[in-house]
Chain A
Amino acid sequence: MKLLQNSGLVLFIIGLLVFTGIPFSGSYQLDRTMVRDHTKEMHQDAMLEVLEPIYEKTYASNFSFIKDFNDFFNAYNEELKEEQAWDKVIWDDYAFALTKAASSGPVEDAPLLFLALSIGLAVLGGLLYTLPLYRNKPAGIKHDGIYFSSMKARGWLGIITGTYLIVFYIILYWYPEYLTNLVIMVDPLSILLSGGPASQWFLYGLIYTLAILVMGVRMFRKYKGNNYQTIRTASVMFFQLAFAFLIPEILVLFNMPWHDFKNIWPLDYSFFYEYRIEGMVSSGALGMFMLIWGIILIVIGVPVFTYFYGKRWYCSWVCGCGGLAETVGDPYRQLSDKSLKAWQVERYLVHGVLVLAVVMTAVTITNYFMEFGMLEQATNQFHSIYGFAIGSAFAGVIGTGFYPFMGNRVWCRFGCPLAAYLGLVQRFKSRFRITTNGGQCISCGNCSTYCEMGIDVRWYAQRGQNIVRSSCVGCGVCSAVCPRGVLKLENGQEAGRINDMPIIIGNESIKVKS
């Protein structure tokens, strides 16, 4: 078994190395047809002229190609900016499309082979490692040695992993032209699903989904015997695979807008953007359904489901960010900050982002109906700032890159505006709570330590108080790790849900209010 797992680990590392190496392979040569094919008509003449010096030149690496491309392209734009010829400046980003077109080499010749050698090997290795986990071991908590682990307790392995993720996200969001070979590698898969070539987002979606599936299997092994964890994990795996990956691609195959039916505004912050609204409105009955369904989720779905089940129905059962956090992020859940200070920062930040998202959307909608010049500029500015700071930097780079440093729910806890909205409902109008079992708490601290949202669960448990917190995503791990059966996630009547002055059972001498 050990041998099988170790070979799995080796295969995973080989796959990861091949994946990391692929962007550095191949050669690059641009010609006029490529430029014509991949630029908008209004820019074609200008681009053809700007890129004149690099035709016929063969570049041995994407670095040198992209450098030359950027030099000429930027020089052209700079000149126009100096002349204040703003309307002629090319704001579109053609670096990714043209680098992808110019690339040739082994990956382009045999994309499926490289797909198998990189992502394929990593998935196979991951499964070989996770499937035999805890074989022949009784069901129970599997936390032995977590704080001695370099990977899970901020050791060098954790630091390397975090750094790799951060770098990957920065390149993905702001320098995707360096990833073109990887995107070429998944083109056949994309064509199969959606009929069109892949973008960097297809590549990302594929990796994301596979990561959730493989690490979901790990969750099944780790929490064997705990049905809540097993069913919940199966749910996030299903929603990611079907709703976030397959269905949107298949929609594209039928000339529909790419749409994730389980993503809800304001997490899906561009839902009310002009291009999205127009995409939906112009896509017939299904498009209208997308629009109406999306609005129903916001106004009815969130409050009603959260009233009955707490925000867990979304955050740890459906959501894609939550899905990644609960599977890939599970080894890091203990690294969340439990201090009072962190809780204060959390409240300002997460509600701040919610306000920002609401204001931005209000401006967007006003602009949609008014089409007022100044407002349009403001809207665009707003979109690019929000997209950069929240959509990319916070949700992606920090949200996932910081798993090994600050735990697996950094984004959900400090940044997600939808989590803030769900949390407000959960805190003030819901049947969900974590019940504390009378006086059985021994203050051991397992619940607080393994709370990914940084809730000091023990604080409540040891004073016999139910846990009603807006941030709780209902993952159920506090209840699982409690050695004395003190915590139970429950939906029940609202009366008695919040007991600020609990009485601990057991002492008849006095009525002890903690």
Chain B
Amino acid sequence: MSENTIVILGNGISGVTCARHIRKNNPNITITIVSAETRHFFSRTALMYIYMGHMKYEHTKPYADDFWEKNDIKLLFGWVKAIDFSNQELNFEDGEVVSYKQLVLATGSKPNMFGWPGQDLNGVQGLYSYQDLLNMEKNTQDIQHAVLVGGGLIGVEMAEMLASRKIPVTFLVREKGFWDNILPKEEAALVGRHIREHHIDLKLDTELKEIIGDEKGQVKAVKTSHGEIINCQFVGLTAGVSPNIALFKNSDLNTNRGILVDDQFRTNLPNVYAIGDCAEFNKPPGKDRKNIEQVWYTGRMHGETLAHNLTHEKKVGYTPGIWFNSAKFFDIEYQTYGHVPPTWENPTRSFYWESASGKVALRFLFDQEDRILGMNAFGWRMRHEFFDRAIKEGWKADRVIGQLDKANFNPEFHKKFYKQLLDKYNSENGTSIPLPRQSFIQKLIGSRSWNRT
């Protein structure tokens, strides 16, 4: 064992980003990535496309299999049974023992199970890991009906997956609007309509009471909070995820909902760090930020930042920039920049525009001084760089709205909605922001990419 041996537990986006950046910063450190999920890093967000037949598993691997050897990153495929923090050793199920100088925990999440009666029946599952995908493949063979519980992003993914195999789906959502603990009312309604357009039986304001099994322990129906019994052979539980920390319960590692870390991802134990979904910050990393960050992008940033600290004398604290996220609800893409809560109060001001088709929408929030706080985009691609800068610099509403042509990231020849949006904005606010005109030459030589200045 060399002096600098870093072991990373988990080969998701956080762990792998961390490993890659350690290697970039230092060619000599010994790096080992441990996982029992898959031998190689794959994109978790792409699991759905394997089920839908858009891709095969190998297409979801962002790096070729020989990438790891070329970069001298060891991959260890095996299940860690216990961690001996005092001796700095990992104990594997097959008896192997691996020691470390520094340990990075990046164990991700697991689907939430709220103790519903019948949640352990066959044919009932969540969707997070590669194994979940294999199970879903098996569990949905020749079934007539599926029920999904919980209205989040994974729920929509599962609905889309099942719909691609022409399996009828009933979707139980506790809230009154789809994902309305995150989305404002109009956006939640837009997504709900689109889900129904895809023939998903979306039941809002409906909770799961019980999952009913047959004599063989196989799910045969669910009972809702309205007393309705829905026959089904598959139940997808998608009521969020929580940190996957079962391995560290009853150890010296301080945990709450996740592994507790400071702003440099240090746990209470020396030489042990935690990043990604499984980490819980002692205090939120920024204004309007949560203590646990469970999206792809934050996982990547955690990995980048910790890699820097593990390879530099001068440590930095994790300082995320302007929040951004994205998702896709069936055919409608969603992007968000900055802070857009589901509800707000005066003096925060909102401007919302929706197309006649009800499938394209933009929302902007401005503070009392008319500075942009954040925006939601549905069915209209926006330039990340534009809003990152506009929000960071606190651009005024008229400036943001007047330059949306520069923010537009839709493909060329895409239907243009800018004039409609401007008309609505101008009439609501008594302004007269003109539609930016392009000269003939500018039109002729095609779209202009945004000028970074």
Are A492 and B53 neighbours in the complex by a CB distance under 8 Å? no
Q: A485-B381, A488-B381, A491-B446 are contacts. A444–B46 as well, Cβ < 8 Å?
A: yes
Q: Which of A138, A149, A440, A448 contacts B384 (CB 8 A)?
A: A440
The stretch of B184-192, B266-274, B405-413 that contacts the partner chain: B405-413
Q: Would you call B296 and A442 a contact (CB within 8 A)? A: yes
For the complex, give the distance between the alpha carbons of A122 and B410 in Å.
37
A-side contacts of B52, CB under 8 Å = 143-145
Question: Given A145-B164, A442-B43, do A492 and B449 touch, yes or no (CB 8 Å)?
Answer: yes
Are A445 and B59 in contact (CB-based, < 8 A)?
A: yes
**A161 at interface by CB-CB < 8 Å:** no
Residues of B within 8 A of A509 (CB): 301, 304-305, 308, 316-320
**Contact for B449 among A138, A476, A493, CB less than 8 A:** A493
Which residues in window 21-65 of B have CB below 8 A to A? Answer: 21, 43, 45-46, 49, 52-56, 59-62, 64
Q: Which of B54, B301, B327, B381 has the most CB of A within 10 A?
A: B54
Closest B residue by C-beta to A464: B384
Taking CB atoms, residues of chain A closer than 8 Å to B411 are 226-228, 476, 479-480, 488-489
Chain B 413-451 interface mask (CB, 8 Å, partner A; 1/0): 111000000000000000000000000000001111111
Residue numbers in B under 8 Å from A202 (CB-CB): none
- Interface assignment of B257: CB less than 8 Å from any CB of chain A: no
In the complex, per-residue mask of A474-502: 1 if CB is within 8 Å of any chain B CB, else 0: 00100110011100111111001000000
Let me know if B328 is at the binding interface, CB within 8 A. Answer: yes
Contacting B at CB under 8 A, from A300-322, are 308-309
Q: Is the pair A309, B381 in contact by a Cβ cutoff of 8 Å? A: no
Q: Chain A residues with Cβ under 8 A from B326's Cβ?
A: 440, 442, 484-485
Partner of A485, one of B59, B164, B304, B382: B382
Q: A444-B43, A476-B411, A490-B447 are in contact. Are A147 and B53 (CB under 8 A)?
A: yes
B54 adjacent to A439 (CB under 8 Å): no
- Give CA–CA (A506, B382) in the complex, Å: 15
Is chain A's binding surface mostly helix, strand, loop or mixed?
loop
CB atoms of A431 and B445 under 8 A apart: yes
Q: Is B383 engaged at the interface, CB distance under 8 Å to the other chain?
A: yes
**A149, A227, A231, A444: residue with the most chain B Cβ atoms closer than 10 Å:** A444
* Contact residues in A for B383 (Cβ distance below 8 Å): 437-438
B333 near A440 with CB under 8 A, answer no
Contacting pair A437 B55 (CB below 8 A): no
Cβ of B335 under 8 Å from chain A: yes
The answer to whether residues A437 and B384 also contact, given A491-B445, A507-B304, A508-B319 and a CB cut-off of 8 A, is yes
Q: A476-B411, A508-B321 are contacts. A435–B330 as well, Cβ < 8 Å?
A: no
Contacts of A308 in B (CB 8 A): 445-446
Contacts of A446 in B (CB 8 A): 46, 49, 54-55
- Does A192 belong to the interface (CB within 8 Å)? no
The answer to the question of B324 belonging to the interface, with a C-beta cut-off of 8 Å to chain A, is yes
B297 adjacent to chain A (CB < 8 Å): yes
Q: How far, in angstroms, from A510 to B308 measured CA to CA in the complex?
A: 8
Closest to A491 in B: B446
User: What 0/1 pattern do residues 448 to 468 of A give for CB contact below 8 A with B?
Assistant: 110000000011001000000
Check B64–A439 contact: CB distance below 8 A. no
In this assembly, does B198 line the interface, its C-beta being within 8 Å of a C-beta of chain A? yes
The reply on A140 being an interface residue by CB < 8 A is yes
A27 beta carbon closer than 8 Å to chain B: no
List chain A residues, Cβ under 8 A from B61: 445
B316 touches A440 (CB 8 A): no
- In the assembled complex, the Cα of A309 lies from the Cα of B43 at a distance in Å of 33
Among A138, A492, A506: residue with most chain B CB under 10 A: A506
- Contacting A at CB under 8 A, from B185-233, are 194, 197-198
CB distance from B160 to the nearest CB of A (A): 9
Is A507 in contact with B446, judged by CB distance below 8 angstroms? no
For A479, the chain B residues whose CB sits under 8 A away are 411
- With known contacts A145-B164, A444-B43, A439–B324 Cβ distance under 8 A: yes
Q: Restricting to B310-326, which residues have a CB under 8 Å from any CB of A?
A: 316-322, 324, 326
Query: Closest chain B residue to A458 by CB distance?
Result: B62
Residues of chain A lying within 8 A (CB to CB) of residue B367: none
Chain A residue at smallest Cβ distance from B331:
A140
Asked if residues B46 and A445 are in contact (CB atoms below 8 Å), the reply is yes
The answer to whether A507 touches B409 (Cβ under 8 A) is no
A139 in contact with B446 given A437-B381, A506-B320, A508-B320 (CB within 8 Å): no
Evaluate contact between A444 and B49: CB separation under 8 angstroms: yes
User: What chain B residues lie within 8 Å of A496 (beta carbons)?
Assistant: 452
- Residue A228 contacts which of B59, B300, B414 (CB distance < 8 angstroms)? B414
B324 touches A227 (CB 8 A): no
Let me know if B388 is at the binding interface, CB within 8 A: yes
B316: chain A residues within 8 A (beta carbon): 509-510
- Asked if B69 is an interface residue, CB under 8 A from chain A, the answer is no
A340 at the interface (CB under 8 A from B): yes
If A145-B52, A437-B381, A505-B384 touch, whether A489 touches B330 (CB-CB below 8 Å) is no
**What residues on A are CB-neighbors of B413 within 8 Å?**
227-228, 231
What residues of chain B lie closer than 8 Å to A462, measured between beta carbons?
A: 62
Chain B neighbourhood of A104, CB < 8 A: none
State whether the Cβ of B385 lies closer than 8 Å to any Cβ in chain A: yes
Known: A489-B412, A508-B319, A510-B308. A139 touches B60 (CB 8 A): no
**A141 located at the interface, meaning its Cβ lies under 8 Å from any Cβ of chain B in the complex:** yes
A254 at the interface (CB under 8 A from B): no
Does the CB pair A506–B321 fall under 8 Å? Answer: yes
Which B residues lie within 8 Å of A476 (CB)?
A: 411-412
Q: A444-B43, A446-B49 are in contact. Are A438 and B317 (CB under 8 A)?
A: no
Q: Does B13 contact A (CB under 8 A)?
A: yes
CB of A148 closer than 8 Å to a CB of B = yes
Question: In the complex, what distance in Å separates the CA atom of A458 from the CA atom of B61?
Answer: 10
CB nearest neighbor in B for A435: B449
- Rounded to whole Å, the gap between the CB of B174 and the closest CB of chain A is 26
**A505 touching B330, Cβ below 8 Å:** no
CA of A491 to CA of B446 in the docked complex: distance in angstroms? 6
Chain A nearest CB, measured from B47 CB (Å): 9
Knowing A435-B449, A437-B381, the reply to whether A443 touches B324 (Cβ < 8 A) is no
Contact residues in B for A431 (Cβ distance below 8 Å): 445-446
Interfacial chain B residues near A231, Cβ < 8 Å: 413
Q: CB of A512 within 8 A of chain B?
A: yes
A145 and B46 CA atoms in complex are apart in Å by: 15
| Known contacts A227-B415, A438-B383, A438-B384; is-contact A505 B447 (Cβ 8 Å) | no
Among A445, A484, A504, find the residue whose CB has the most chain B CB atoms closer than 10 A: A445
Interfacial chain A residues near B319, Cβ < 8 Å: 507-509
A227-B413, A507-B301 known; A148 and B451 CB under 8 Å?
Answer: no
- A84 at interface, CB cutoff 8 A: no
State whether the Cβ of A146 lies closer than 8 Å to any Cβ in chain B. yes
Contact call A138/B54, Cβ cutoff below 8 A:
no
**B contact residues around A459 at 8 Å (CB):** 62
A33 in the interface (beta carbon within 8 A): no
- Residues from chain B with Cβ under 8 Å of A309 in the complex: 445-446
Per-residue B-contact encoding for A323-341, CB less than 8 Å = 1, 0 else: 0000000000000000110
Alpha-carbon separation in the docked complex, A246 to B319 (Å): 64
A483 touches B59 (CB 8 A): no
Could you name 19 residue pairs across A and B whose Cβ atoms are closer than 8 Å? A147-B55, A226-B411, A228-B412, A231-B413, A309-B446, A431-B445, A433-B449, A440-B326, A440-B335, A442-B45, A476-B412, A484-B326, A484-B328, A490-B446, A490-B447, A506-B301, A507-B304, A508-B321, A512-B304
A-B pairs, top 8 by smallest CB distance, nearest first, are A438-B384, A492-B449, A140-B331, A485-B381, A491-B446, A444-B46, A227-B413, A145-B53
| 13 additional contacts (CB under 8 A) given A479-B411, A512-B304 | A143-B53, A147-B55, A228-B413, A228-B414, A308-B446, A437-B409, A439-B300, A440-B297, A440-B326, A446-B46, A488-B447, A489-B412, A508-B319
| Interface residues, chain B, with chain A CB atoms under 8 Å away | 13, 21, 43, 45-46, 49, 52-56, 59-62, 64, 164, 194, 197-198, 296-297, 300-301, 304-305, 308, 316-322, 324, 326-328, 330-331, 333, 335, 359, 381-385, 388, 409-415, 445-452
